[in-house]
Copies of this chain bind each other. A is one copy, B any other.
Amino acid sequence: MGRNQTFDTAAAVRAARAVFWARGYEATALPDLERATGLSRSSIYHAFASKRGLFDAAVDSYLDEVVRPRLRPLTEDDVAPDALDHYLTGLRDALLRGDTLPATSGCLLVNAANAPIGQDDGVAAVVEAYAAELRTAMAAGVRARLPHLADDATQTLSDVCTGLVISAFALVRVDRAEAARSLDTARAVLASAVAATATPR
């Protein structure tokens, strides 16, 4: 009983997500969100209770629709040997590709971590979990490429990749070339580890 919702919630969240991604939580004003979603303020508050509620929905959708799809080849049951290299080159290309959101605005969550909203316990927990997810995926990629590597070397290598991915995100907004270099460095480290294992001197 009662009227059905006419707009697509997921689409509205995606539109809001783009604004939060590009401008950050604090700098995004209600009129921006009304414009992006095509919804009136009343509808926004009806559907999401608050600006913060919409942001939380945007973060969820960011993880589900942006982060995890890109990470999938590294999180599935069997991981291809070149999956990690593909991830790094794919991300590199994305950061260099014109005016896309990743290129101009990096990572929604890394941005949030270094903004006032990052001090919020809930947001901090999400970012922390994201970093852990990233690190697990990197480790899977390293293991797929170098199955016989010692555990501590595997961990160091995946921590290197994780850190360089994060630093790439932290730098894109200001220096796209430096961000790409960061990802190339991760690939170089990986390649030299492979070379060292394949042809021990």
Contact = CB atoms under 8 A, between A and B. Distances in A.
A127 interface: yes
A54 B45 CA distance: 38
A64 interface: no
A181 interface: yes
| Interface size range on A against B | 35 or more
A178 B163 CA distance: 9
A5 to B, nearest CB: 33
Interface string A17-38: 0000001101100000000000
Nearest to A191: B156
Nearest to A175: B128
A113 B160 contact: no
A113 B159 contact: no
Given A170-B169, A170-B170, A178-B128, A115 B113 contact: no
Nearest to A196: B196
A57 interface: no
A153 to B, nearest CB: 8
B113 A156 contact: no
25 contacts: A26-B26, A111-B114, A113-B170, A113-B171, A113-B174, A114-B114, A114-B170, A115-B115, A124-B173, A124-B174, A127-B174, A128-B175, A156-B188, A159-B181, A160-B160, A160-B189, A162-B167, A163-B163, A163-B168, A163-B182, A166-B166, A166-B167, A166-B170, A166-B171, A170-B170
